Amino acid sequence: MKLHVRKGDNVKILTGKDKGKTGRITAVNPDTGRIVVDGSNTIIKHNKAKNAQSQSSILKMAGSIDSSNVQIVCPACAKATRVAKLAADAKSKAKFVRACKKCNASLDVKQDKKVDKKAKKAKKDDEVATDAGDAKTATTKAKASTKAKKAVAGEEEVAGTSAKKDGDGVTTKNADGAIV
């Protein structure tokens, strides 16, 4: 059975003891047409102890309700609405997009976020390409940080020679590594 709501949608409950409440869908069962809305249709389940070591308990949990008893809440106009199906643009893989009947805003927020992530990634790739021109600057910064690390370790570079400071004095090595 095809449902008009999906997991993660905000819905308003139309009938039952929780009529008028809104909540987020936490589970969907398309086979039975039932959904679980967070914080509604609270049921109490009694668990009996299975053996002497386990303890009996009383659990409060959200029960399922039929999907026809809820309406989706539009994120744009914040009203409970029916779902319209509009033809999707060429960029998306889906043939249809769920939309609000009142304001024609898209209800598929997750798909919009995926498109936004792809756009941000493409923008980031463009920035990396422009930074490739600044590769010389990056290499210079890397060399400067290496020099700083060596200075902290007690080594100094002097025109092709390196000197390592010992506790008593200074041992000097030339570029080949021989002690002078």
CA-closest candidate to residue 26, choices 74, 71, 61: 61
The pTM (predicted TM-score) of the whole model is 0.55
- What pLDDT does residue 158 have? 47
What pLDDT is attached to residue 51? 93
pLDDT at res. 121: 65
Is the pLDDT at 17 greater than 80, yes or no?
yes
- Mean pLDDT computed over 28-35: 94
Name the residue with tokens 């930074």.
Answer: 131
| Residue 10 near residue 72, CB atoms below 8 Å | yes
Per-residue pLDDT tens digits for 35-90: 999 989 999 999 999 999 999 999 999 999 999 999 999 989 989 999 988 887 77
Per residue in 79-137, pLDDT tens? 999 998 888 777 777 778 888 988 888 888 665 555 556 556 666 666 655 555 555 55
DSSP result, 92-157: SS-SEEEEETTT--BS-HHHHHHHHHHHHHHHHHHHHHHHGGGHHHHHHHHHHHHHHHHHHHTEEE
> What is the rounded average pLDDT of the residues 153-173?
52
Q: What is the pLDDT of residue 33?
A: 93
**Residue 90 corresponds to which tokens in the numbers above?**
């060429």
**CA dist 61 → 24, 46, 114, 133, 162 (Å):** 15, 11, 32, 58, 71
Q: What is the pLDDT of residue 156?
A: 47
How many residues belong to the chain?
A: 180
Mean predicted confidence (pLDDT) in 12-32: 94
pLDDT higher for 1 or 130? 1
pLDDT surpasses 50 at 157 = no
More confident: 173 or 14: 14
pLDDT at 64: 94
